[in-house]
Amino acid sequence: MDYSPRIIDAFAYALELHDGQARKLSGVPYVTHLMAVAAIVGEHGGDEDQVIAALLHDAAEDQGGLETLAAIRKRFGDTVAGYVEGCTDSYTIPKPPWRARKEAFIERIEDAEPQLKLIVAADKLHNARATITALREKGNAIWREFRGGREDTLWYYAELVRVLAKGWSHPALRDLADAVDALHRRAEALG
């Protein structure tokens, strides 16, 4: 499958929206996460709309809420906007309490279509891998950076694997399950 210039447009838009934003654990430009998620989606057979949505999956949540979602819909279409909407757990700042947001997201994603589950799995896979790396490099101090702390963050990843598996079997899900298992083992080893 070949991609159209829409991919370039989506990357440029993601770069514009997330300019100046950094990953919390590593400090690298946030767009690196978006590129990684898009690559995971593409490598696991996602179509162009899924790859575009992967590039933009945090745009509405982190960069403008419903106004940004409307701009995505206008620029990239209903399918991409629907995927971005499916990846979003809050449109407001300040965000609602962490645990309530995550519980609502888990409940919503459980019966999501496989195309959306792939994007969510890719996002969480990249996040889990980054968390493992940070644990290896910085130890338990990293949990202060997570609103859910150690226990709730580990709970969240395990629940995501469980609900994504409902009616969906996919290599990306197996990769996520392996990463979450490794994250739990590393966290347990550090005490």
Average pLDDT, the chain: 96
pLDDT attached to residue 162: 98
pLDDT attached to residue 35: 98
Going 75 to 64 to 19 to 108, the CA torsion angle's sign is negative
Return the bridge partners of 29, or none.
Answer: 22
At the topology level, CATH places domain 6-190 in Hypothetical protein af1432 (1.10.3210)
Residue whose structure tokens are 């609602």: 96
Domain ranges of the chain: 6-190
Segment 54-109, tens digit of pLDDT: 999 999 999 999 999 999 999 999 999 999 999 999 998 888 999 999 999 999 99
Residue 173 has pLDDT above 80, yes or no: yes
Output the pTM of the full model.
0.96
Neighbours of 130 (CB within 10 A): 20
pLDDT attached to residue 1: 75
**Alpha-carbon distance 3 to 24, whole Å?**
31
pLDDT attached to residue 191: 81
Give the rounded percent of residues in the chain with a pLDDT score beyond 70.
100
Check if the beta carbon of residue 126 is closer than 8 Å to that of residue 31: no
- For residue 168, the one-letter residue type is W
Contacts of range 128-131, beta carbons closer than 8 Å, 24 or more positions apart: 128/157, 128/176, 128/179, 128/180, 128/182, 128/183, 129/179, 130/23, 130/25, 130/26, 130/33, 131/25, 131/183
Segment 146-163, tens digit of pLDDT: 999 999 999 999 999 999
51: tokens are 């790859």
Segment 34-59, tens digit of pLDDT: 999 999 999 999 999 999 999 999 99
pLDDT attached to residue 25: 87
pLDDT, average across residues 132-153: 94
Check if the beta carbon of residue 53 is closer than 8 Å to that of residue 80: yes
